[in-house]
Amino acid sequence: MSIDFYAAFIIGLMGAGHCLGMCGGVAAALTMGMPNQQKNNRWHYLLMYNLGRLLSYTIAGGIIGGAFAGVATLTGSSYALISLRLFASVMMIILALYLGQWWQGLVKIEKVGHILWKRIAPKANTFLPLKSPMAALPFGVLWGWLPCGLVYSTLSWAAVSGSLVSGSLVMLAFGLGTLPAMLVVGGLASQLKQLLSNLYFKRANALLLLGYGIHTGYIAINQIM
């Protein structure tokens, strides 16, 4: 399996604080308005909600990966793909700086998706309060399109993955990485939450991503030259 898949998983895992801020409130509110007799099934709601999120990420990765692979095939030029790989390395560096809490520039990138989100959010809210676990699935699918710098950064790697399947797998790996943080909201061990939020732990992994981004950019530049 490509190292990009592991990197995507680490991005999701290390973005715990960001995930909790962006989607944690939504996950915690899933059971609001739910009859008391159904609250014992809250894990079913959380699992279906997160399954919906992962489905959105996987579909987006497949669309992006397949589209750019098609463009590269039609043009027959490797420079476009190399340039995109260079862009992906820059996004990885920006993401590493964000995860390490050295620079918050990634937050500005999220504003790009707010125009689309304004159209999606009202549709997502029509599912609330959730009547059944199955209703949490489409709710999660729609919330998967919430503007998120982590998602956008990982999509840049899906774009250069080389195929629809590879792009889908990159984003699926990212989604799986976000699960611990999102399930913590649902009541998993507080120790896990503390580990994922620990600044030293985050910075250690951010340095790994930073090194990976710089290495990838170096390879891309050499291919252009």
* Average pLDDT for the chain: 81
The predicted-structure confidence for 76-122, as pLDDT tens digits, reads as follows: 666 777 888 888 889 889 988 988 889 988 888 888 778 888 888 88
The conformation of residue 113, written as its DSSP 8-state character, comes to: G
The predicted-structure confidence for 187-201, as pLDDT tens digits, reads as follows: 544 555 666 667 887
- CA 136, distance to chain mean position in Å, is 19
Q: What pLDDT is attached to residue 141? A: 94
Model confidence at 33: pLDDT above 80: no
Q: Which two tokens stand for residue 15?
A: 């973005």
- Alpha-carbon distance of 55 to 62, in angstroms, equals 11
Of the candidates 213, 207, 165, the one whose C-alpha atom is nearest the C-alpha of residue 3 is 213
Q: What pLDDT is attached to residue 29? A: 65
Q: Which two tokens stand for residue 206?
A: 């951010």
**37 vs 30, which has greater pLDDT?**
30
Percent of the chain with pLDDT over 70: 79
Q: What count of other Cβ atoms lies within 10 Å of the Cβ of residue 218?
A: 12
- CA 105, distance to chain mean position in Å, is 17
Exposure letters 138-167 (e unless 16+ CB within 10 A, then b): bbbbbbbbbbbbbbbbbbbbbbbbbebebb
Q: What pLDDT is attached to residue 169? A: 95
187: left (phi over 0), alpha (psi -120 to 50) or beta: left
Model confidence at 25: pLDDT above 90: no
